[in-house]
Chains A and B, each alone.
Chain A
Amino acid sequence: MKIKFNIRRFNPDDSKLNEPYFQAYDVEVTEGMTVLEALLKINEEQDPTLAFRKSCRSAICGSCAMKVNGFSKLTCSLQVIPEYKKKGRMVIEPLANHKQVKDLVVDLNPFWKKIEKVTPYLTPMDKEHEERSVSEEDEKTIDQSQRCIMCGCCNSECNALEIDSKFIAPAALAKAWRFVGDVREGDKKKRLERLSEEHGMWDCVRCIHCTQYCPKDVAPLKQIEMLRSSAMKAGILDNPGAKHVEAMADSVRRVGRLDEAAMTFKTLGFLRSIGMIPFGLKMELHGKMPLPILFPKIEKIEEVKKIYEEAAKQGTEQEKKKEE
């Protein structure tokens, strides 16, 4: 079966073509052939100048991540024929949110810088804790975050990174949980404080692209959620992200619903809320200003309050068990 591959190319050394362009290649594909194998075939039979990264061909090294028909994939574990049959096309582009260096190769330096930022190694505890054994249960909490092969698919899909290049982004955040969640780590609180800064973990927009497109099921969003609740439990609350969550938890406990006016006020604080007044008035013209007082409660709100108490009790019991 012959399939047309449309590949987004770029060569910075070619003065005539200093802009990315698409080039089409007709490739004879066979049952079971992967996208990476097809690219290698193009390399061998049609165009030795086509540049792309690859190494293990077994979804272990993480080198061959690219965008296939708009979404980031490991090309070594994606078969051509099913993908083509589903989408009716075969468009290959470099990872997004990174600078294209040549053809399908991107500059991963910013990716590594972000990983370095979260100090990707254990900080020892003080002398009293010279040895700390790790139980199977302990390992389970960080197991998923350890599956990362640094392919960059999550950062390529991350919508917050698309807009804010300073955002720490999912790969580094999943890596951060690997150490924050480790029972041997000595500097948990300091790590969580750093992660709570601007462009840090609270800037995640919860678009769930990272979890959807991670080829190794690292589920970065889940790791981000665990970082966030750990930070809040550690009392790191003086930032808009944590305040927002606290306001939400408080609103649900009080009235069972999201009290938008109270949440805005608590998240932004007094001064920034005053800045919102002109906008609030404009909303009010259209009847869109949420009720700031006497928010109606749901029926049986006492059940919700009791559930809050019981969940907290379960949490404390678990912590106790862990310490024992």
Chain B
Amino acid sequence: MADKLRYAYYPGCASQEITKEANVTTRLVARKLGIELHDMPKASCCGAGLLTDYDYQLYIAINARIFAEAEQMGMDIMTICSTCLMVMRTANYNLKTSPELLAKTNEILATVGLHYRGTVEVKQLLWVLAGEYGLNNLKKKVVKPLDWMKIAPFYGCHSLRPSNALGFDDPEMPQSLDKVIEALGAQPVDYSGKTKCCGFQVDLVAVETAEVMTATRLLDGKKHGANCFVTPCPFCHINLDNYQNLAEKQVEKKIEMPVFHLSQLVGLALGLTPQDIGLSRHLVSPSRILR
């Protein structure tokens, strides 16, 4: 790495509340890796896809306001949420490929004294680790290889699709999370559910679908020999961990699968303690697979 990596840091709403542990851990991990994270105090919610259903132009403008803040800071955005990643990158892709949309959106931004030129890129922690930071550099920082862990990488939907707006991983054979797991000394488990959906978007709308889906993914990874899951997305984490018990009841099967945030797994390998990374906040305790 020639220069120090610096990002406008966008943890996303979930990791400022329900999944706080992911936010806290990401900050600790970034410090250990020498990545600078700069807060965005004005940044609003990206809309999590729901604002897209409400009003398309509003969704674009709200996101453009976030990009304008990062543009003023002179930095790209790093998020730790796949849904934020997908929503923001899709908005940014549409703005960058349609001068008409960019102009219309800037008309709206002008009423609050803002302007977006279209120079910001949005990334997530996973991409930064597997991309700009680099797997070899990450490997060098590992002090406690996780060599006893067999981990199911759960990419989830929004770090892969739509690939025209996302584009980092191949949606049919993603590698980044598998490679990060290997760099931390652990063994990735292959299973078909790794590119599928956790069901989060319908948690409150189609409860049974969401719970059966969550159980299906967890059981798939378990069948292929995983002793834990890791996900780059806090919403996937909410379903796979917080709601695992409800999912178990729905399918009448015991699952008992610990689920880590990506930052937590990296943190463990870099020598952070279970307290540092907030493991007591998980509903399915990961303590039995810790060493």
Contacts and interface: CB of A to CB of B under 8 A. Distances in A.
16 contacts: A69-B172, A159-B199, A164-B212, A205-B197, A206-B49, A212-B163, A244-B204, A246-B54, A249-B54, A249-B55, A252-B62, A257-B13, A287-B280, A288-B18, A304-B62, A307-B61
State the 4 A-B residue pairs at the shortest beta-carbon distance, nearest first. A258-B13, A207-B197, A208-B161, A311-B58
Given A229-B54, A303-B112, A307-B112, A298 B172 contact: no
B44 A304 contact: yes
Interface string B227-252: 00000000000000010011000000
Interface in A293-323: 298-304, 306-308, 310-312, 314-315
Nearest to A251: B45
Nearest to B172: A71
B48 interface: yes
Interface string B193-228: 000110111101110111011001000000000000
Interface residues of B, number: 65
A160 B65 contact: no
B195 to A, nearest CB: 9
Contact of B54 (A164, A248, A263): A248
B282 interface: yes
Q: Is the interface of A mostly helix, strand, loop or mixed?
A: helix
A204 B57 CA distance: 21
B42 A300 contact: yes
Interface string B55-99: 111100110010000000000000000000010000000000000
Interface string A244-271: 1110110110001110100110011000
Given A203-B205, A299-B41, 12 more contacts: A202-B202, A205-B209, A212-B171, A225-B56, A248-B54, A256-B45, A260-B17, A264-B204, A291-B17, A303-B112, A303-B114, A311-B58
Interface residues of A, number: 68
Contacts of A306: 111-112
Interface in A90-120: none
A315 B57 contact: yes
B204 A267 contact: yes
Contacts of A86: 173
A256 B213 contact: no
Max count, chain A CB within 10 A of own CB: residue among B192, B197, B283: B197
B108 A310 contact: yes
Contacts of B43: 298
A190 interface: no
Contacts of A260: 13-14, 17-18
Interface stretch (A28-36, A146-154, A180-188, A278-286): A278-286
Given A70-B192, A286-B280, A304-B65, A163 B209 contact: yes
Given A208-B157, A257-B16, A307-B108, A203 B162 contact: no
Contact of B17 (A208, A290, A301): A290
Contact of B44 (A159, A205, A298): A298
A159 B202 CA distance: 12
B267 interface: no
Nearest to A212: B161
A142 B132 CA distance: 41
Given A159-B196, A258-B45, A314-B104, A164 B206 contact: yes
Contact of B283 (A164, A245, A246, A286): A286
Interface of A: 69-71, 86-87, 159-160, 162-164, 167, 198-199, 202-209, 211-212, 225-226, 228-229, 232, 240-241, 244-246, 248-249, 251-252, 256-258, 260, 263-264, 267-268, 279, 282-283, 286-288, 290-291, 298-304, 306-308, 310-312, 314-315
A241 B49 CA distance: 12
B187 to A, nearest CB: 20
B47 interface: yes
B86 to A, nearest CB: 7
Given A87-B173, A298-B43, A308-B58, A240 B281 contact: no
B158 interface: yes
Contact of A211 (B44, B62, B162, B196): B162
B128 interface: no
A208 B158 contact: yes
B157 A206 contact: yes
B50 interface: yes
A232 B52 CA distance: 12
Contact of A244 (B58, B162, B172, B205): B205
Given A203-B206, A206-B49, A283-B283, A298 B42 contact: yes
A160 B17 contact: no
A232 B58 CA distance: 14
